[in-house]
Amino acid sequence: MRETFSSEGYITILEQFVSTQLALEDRSRIEWFIQDGARPHRREKVFRFLNEYFGNRVIALDYTKFTGTGMYWPPYSLDLTPCDYVLWCALKDTVYGNHPSTLDEFESVICVACNSISVETLKNVMSNFILCLGHLIFSNGEHFENVVF
């Protein structure tokens, strides 16, 4: 039986991420940590962990309410994660078009769909991501519209 993703599981992932970052001596430290607003990410124990390692350098939904520091996730903000703004959009028709009826089928269809993404598509995603970051820098981090990526 599969378990529901929990804040404890998320903290385990964060601990692995932090330990990996600390072990990379030739790379600069993480300046800011950004996370989305999924419920397991917004628990007190997660915020305590983030506050311990990142302090006020966190952008997350409800983080400022808990710590009084960091940056609140801005409403209607541009989602800067290519997996969010490209990958799932590209895969959802394929995944749901197969009408999986069990969790195992759903997982299998997602894996097949992800494995079918071409290298060319991934290169295009990254090129558009770089373009998007350029627009974000040009707008000084403010909202911008009418840009097609």
Each as own residue / partner, the long-range contacts of residues 58-66 (CB below 8 Å, 24 or more positions apart, any chain) are 58/32, 58/33, 58/34, 59/32, 59/33, 59/34, 59/35, 60/33, 60/34, 60/35, 60/36, 61/36, 61/37, 62/37
At 45, the pLDDT band (50, 70, 90 cuts) reads very high
pLDDT tens digits for range 108-144? 998 898 898 889 988 888 888 888 778 777 777 666 6
Are 95 and 109 contacting, i.e. CB atoms less than 8 angstroms apart?
A: yes
Please state whether the predicted TM-score (pTM) of the whole model is above 0.85.
no
At 11, the pLDDT band (50, 70, 90 cuts) reads very high
| Res 7 pLDDT > 70 | yes
Domain residue limits, the chain = 1-75, 76-148
Are 33 and 50 contacting, i.e. CB atoms less than 8 angstroms apart?
A: yes
pLDDT tens digits for range 74-86? 665 656 667 766 7
